[in-house]
Amino acid sequence: MAEIPNDLLYTEEHEWVRVEAGDDTLVTIGITDYAQDKMGDVVMVELPEVGDEVNAGAACGAIESPKSVSDIFSPVGGEVSAVNEELEDAPEFVNDEPYGDGWVLRITMADKGELDSLLSPEAYAAYCAEQDED
Amino acid sequence: MRSQFYSAPVLSDGGRMNAAKITALHAEHLALGARMMPFAGYDMPVQYDGILAEHSRVRDSVGLFDVSHMGEVRFKGADAISAVNGLITNDLERVANGRAQYTCTCAPDGTIVDDLIVYRIADDEVLICVNASNRAGDVAHFERYVQGDVTITDESDDWSQIAVQGPSAPTLIARVLGQEFADLRPFRIRQAVFEGAEVLYSTTGYTGEAGGEIYVPNEKAVALWKALLAQGADLGVGPAGLGARDTLRLESAYCLYGNDIDRTTTPLEAGLGWVTRLGKEAFVGKEALVKQKAEGIPRKLVGIEMSERGIPRHDYPILKDGEVVGKVTSGTKSPSTGKSIGLAYVPSALAEAGTTISVDCRGRERSALVVTTPFYARPKGG
């Protein structure tokens, strides 16, 4: 059973979003345990550049396994304020610690209201269960 | 996350609904926790422990692949050798009985209908191993163009096939089938006995490693699979899925039908001139291939290695001086070397090793180098 931490928000594209304590416009984004398991061994992560402007729902990077390429869609709009450069040498962090050292990027949100459209942990768990039935 | 899976015929060929068939080893795969995917109409294991772990298993010790989906077609009759020779690009007259040959079979226009292994069993008998996805088309093609006194039988549904691949494969084969089979040189086929059943052992494979492939009647497939796992436990044996099979074959620069070669490519373009014997008697496609060779081969399948970040993938454009000049047919990050590698068609003028090109990796132009293949070769004597 995939781990779905209670303190995060989620998307149907299997990204997680953590609102950082101390700055409620700053979010950290990664891909979920469910997604990394489905993808298998992550061998490369394509990151955006710090300073890039991204729109909610737009592709802003990619995660590659030996046999697949998966887009990373930005769950919210804003400016990329950090990327996890360690993933360039250690993409396996996405598999090993999807909610920790495997984080992908941070965005300073243009509109905090976009968080309202993200999934709660309960809603995301239900969504994953539904996916597995297909 | 929205995933695009590569090695197109492997993973994007319809949904699970289309995977009506299972192999005799299906329950074994499920018991081993395999992730199953439809391939060529079969529900096949893509991975068990992970592609990288299974890839290393085959490079370092020994892995077992269920390749029962592959087809087996037998030619029998006084003219078996000449009949098959009229259908293939390679030349069965060049080898003795008991030998295997890699070859293409072509349409009259010289494009590739399939790539196959042909086994010269006897002067009146040839066994052909065909790609699962091409099986029906191959048999129809054989029947349409065959000449001479020969009967063609599609035995695919009777045989299971287990590939035993890796540096420790000969040791495992010696234990399960006998030392004489472990000692066979590459591209041989011999009849063996497993638990009273006649099986065929051929020293062929799709990984670049030592070992071979065992053709076993369906009813003995599970017993053989279990015997290989049990008797190879101390060697580190384990299963390997189609995912690792793809990364292993790509490191060895072996073509995958449907990705690197198909009905739009000729053997001469695909670097398979070494199995295309234009000097032999007539075969289907010969005239077109002779003509192409005389007029000049317009493009070639080459190995590429990325000089910058990025992994080449099927259908990514190849660029030279900003112009699209070709396309990638297969690519991955090589688990053995860590380099991003691929196969690509480029104009013949750009096919020399050392030529700089670039790959359009999802909108980002990344430079790459044409390189000699294979990308990985096992250490000599290993």
Residues B218-226: what's their mean pLDDT?
Answer: 98
Digit-coded pLDDT (tens) for B94-108: 999 999 999 999 999
**Is the domain of B313 the same as that of B272?**
no
Tokens 């965005």 -> residue = A107
**Is the domain of B151 the same as that of B46?**
yes
Two tokens at B83? 């009949």
CB B239 within 8 Å of CB B25: no
- B333: which chain A residues are within 8 Å (Cβ-Cβ)? 43-44, 64, 66
Look at residue B352 and tell me if it is in a domain: yes
Whether omega before B374 lies within 30 degrees of 0, making that bond cis, reads: yes
CB A128 within 8 Å of CB A4: yes
AA letter at B165 = Q
Residue B132, min C-alpha distance to chain A (Å): 20
- Kindly provide the b/e burial profile for residues B230-246, where b requires at least 16 CB atoms within 10 angstroms of the residue's own CB: ebbeebebbbbbbbbbb
Q: What do you get for the CA distance between the two ends of chain B, in Å?
A: 41
Look at residue B160 and tell me if it is in a domain: yes
Find the CB nearest A44 among B6, B55, B311.
B311
Tell me which of B276, B295, B314 is where a domain ends. Answer: B295
Residues B307-324: what's their mean pLDDT?
Answer: 96
Contact A66 B362 (CB under 8 A): no
pLDDT of residue B379: 76
Q: Which domain holds residue B184?
A: 1-295
* A67 and B CB contact within 8 Å: yes
Contact A41 B3 (CB under 8 A): no
Two tokens at B136? 């029906």
Contact B5 A44 (CB under 8 A): no
Cα R_g (chain B), whole angstroms: 20
Residue B82, min C-alpha distance to chain A (Å): 41
Q: How many CA atoms lie within 13 A of A12 on its CB side?
A: 5
Find the CB nearest B313 among A13, A41, A69.
A69
Domain boundaries, chain A: 9-110
Two tokens at B262? 């198909």
Two tokens at B114? 């399939």
**CATH code where residue B360 lies:** 2.40.30.110
The residue in chain A having the minimum alpha-carbon distance to the alpha carbon of residue B11 is A67
pLDDT of residue B4: 74
**Is the domain of B201 the same as that of B313?**
no
Contact B340 A71 (CB under 8 A): no
Contact A67 B52 (CB under 8 A): no
AA letter at A128 = C
Q: Is A91 helix (H, G, I), strand (E, B) or coil?
A: coil
B341 pLDDT above the threshold of 80: yes
Look at residue B382 and tell me if it is in a domain: no
AA letter at A3 = E
B83 pLDDT above the threshold of 70: yes
pLDDT band at residue B19 under the 50/70/90 scheme? low
Residues B256, B259, B265, B271, Cα dihedral to 10°? -50
Look at residue B377 and tell me if it is in a domain: no
Digit-coded pLDDT (tens) for A49-106: 999 999 999 999 999 999 899 999 999 999 999 999 999 999 999 999 999 999 999 9
Find the CB nearest B50 among A13, A41, A63.
A41
pTM above 0.90, yes or no: yes
Find out if CATH 1.10.10.10 is the number for domain A9-110.
Answer: no
CB B107 within 8 Å of CB B114: no
Q: How many CA atoms lie within 13 A of B96 on its CB side?
A: 3
Q: Calculate the alpha carbon distances from A78 to A28, A55, A71, A75 in Å.
A: 12, 7, 18, 10
> Is the ipTM, as predicted for this complex, more than 0.90?
no
Look at residue B381 and tell me if it is in a domain: no
* B332 and A CB contact within 8 Å: yes
**Is the domain of B229 the same as that of B344?**
no
pLDDT of residue B200: 98
B215 pLDDT above the threshold of 90: yes
Residues B203-214: what's their mean pLDDT?
Answer: 98
